[in-house]
Structure 1
Amino acid sequence: MKKVFMTVVAVLYVVVMTGIFYMLLNDGHHVLPEKPVLYLYPQDEQRLTVTLDLEGSLDTVYPTPDSEHATERGTQASWTVTAAPDGTLTDQAGRTYPSLFWDGAMALPEPDTGFIVAREDAVPFLEDKLAQLGLDDREAADFITYWAPRIRAYDYTFVSFDASVYTQRASYSFTDEAGAAVTPDTFIRVFMTIREADANTVVQPQAFAPPPTRTGFTVVEWGGAQQHKIS
């Protein structure tokens, strides 16, 4: 089995561009959640504490979490923000953000269903698939401006949007000002994996379920992983 490097990006602060970190596991596959970006859209302005429970370790986080500590599972971090219906987040010092950002490290398997995308098709491909997955225009633009250059770095790229394993390893919970649990009415999580391919690469096509209709308190996360083969 060939060893690979995987660089992960999920949805938490898209304006901040971070470097890509790599770590090689002794056996299997390694993913760095390098850029998870999380958007919050409450129906009314609301003070919320967002808690990330990660099966892995954190590296760069922005804004700085109000608390962060190691757990038996990996790492837990929390942010307390005032969220506006348009997605603007305000921290306790009055600074505003469009979303929350973190990167870190976790182990994930390689997906085997997806698409082969030619360099010139990267942008229209992403526009089409992200709309099918439920991202709005702003979220899709944030995603595309980060990921399209990485897809276009190859003549052909394998692209998969299988988020099932990632979402088991990175979970979120939300509480209100009184400490009561708040459950999003709509939670959209998009996670993409890419790796270099060629025109003759054969993969099983991926089918998408219809995205949920955005109602009530809506939370959106996007991210991805870039696999790098090690010779």
Structure 2
Amino acid sequence: MNKLIKAFLTCTIIFLAGCNLFPEKSKKPVIYLYPEKTTEVDVKVNLDGTFTTTYPKYNDGWKVVAEPDGTLHALDNKDSYYCLFWEGVVNYTPDFSTGFVVEGFKTEVFLEEVLTKLGLNDRERNEFIIYWLPYMQENAYNLISFQNENYTGHAELDISPKPDTVIRVMMAWKPLQESTTIQPQQLDSVERKGFTVVEWGGTEYK
């Protein structure tokens, strides 16, 4: 290969690798609605990115009737759901300036404790762990950081009527072969009051 062409291709690859042209995919964000009484609710996700999957189908938002126990009913048919689901490519880079380094076999216990503190109930916590644990438990270590405004600013929730409590748990993580030192992340407990909305999801960063 001509040396000039080879040098050009090498520089191009380096340039593209530094441009974040491959945004992270947020996997399985699910949204639960718990109004204090049966309520018609309009939910929109203002996504800085692209949806790849939604269920039920996202038609410029979701319009549902929500029950206090979390059961959701579609307005245009008799279908019922327990959550709203989406996946998508989001234009953000996970922040690992603070977080936790957890041995793979200790991931289950770690998630149980942290998700409880963050305000997830038994069902939400169980579903989170059932989904993510198979990807994490066999790794030597997992670097885990829960994203705040870094994520929510790129996937804003617009809900009407406005909820009293919103809990959003977006876990960014990546497998490690060896342990590393990181500043511990400070996590605040959340008390559920009134009309409560819960969302959880994750991003594996590679």
CA contact (8 A) 1:143 1:222 kept: yes
Q: Decide which of 117, 120, 131 is 1:146's aligned counterpart.
A: 131
Which runs of at least 4 in structure 1 moved beyond 2 Å after TM superposition? none
**TM-score, normalization: structure 1?**
0.77
**SS where residue 101 of structure 1 aligns?**
strand
* Mapped pair 1:98 → 2:82: yes
Q: CA deviation at 1:25?
A: 7.0
Matched, 1:56 2:65: no
Aligned twin of 2:8: none
Residue 130 (structure 1) aligned to one of 97, 115, 125 = 115
Is 1:31 equivalent to 2:15 in the alignment? no
In structure 2, how many angstroms separate the alpha carbons of the residues matched to 1:120 and 1:171?
A: 34
Is the Cα contact below 8 Å between 2:165 and 2:193 reproduced in 1? yes
1:9-48 equivalent positions in 2, closer than 5 A: 27-28=19-20, 30-48=23-41
| Cα contact 2:95–2:150 (8 A) shared by 1 | no
Task: Answer yes or no: is the 8 Å Cα contact 2:73–2:80 preserved in 1.
Answer: yes
Q: Deviations over 1:148-189 (max 9, x none)?
A: 1111141111011122211001112223xxxxxx21100001
Please tell me the residue identity of whatever aligns with 1:84: E
Which residue is equivalent to 1:169?
154
Paired residues in the alignment total 188
Query: Which one has the bigger helix percentage?
Result: 2
Write out per-residue CA displacement over residues 190-217 of structure 1, whole angstroms, 9 at most, x where no aligned residue: 1101101134311111111222x21111
> TM-score w.r.t. structure 2 length?
0.86
Secondary structure, in 3 states, of the residue corresponding to 1:214?
coil
Say if 2:58 is the partner of 1:87. no
Runs (5+) with no aligned partner, structure 2:
1-15
| C-alpha RMSD over aligned residues | 1.6
Using the alignment, how far apart are the partners of 1:95 and 1:26 within structure 2?
Answer: 45
Matched ranges for 1:149-160 at <5 A: 149-160=134-145
- Going from structure 1 to structure 2, the CA distance change for 1:90 and 1:25 (only over 3 Å counts) comes to farther
Is the contact made by 1:157 and 1:194 (CA closer than 8 Å) also made in structure 2?
yes
> Contact 2:94–2:147 at 8 Å: present in 1 too?
no
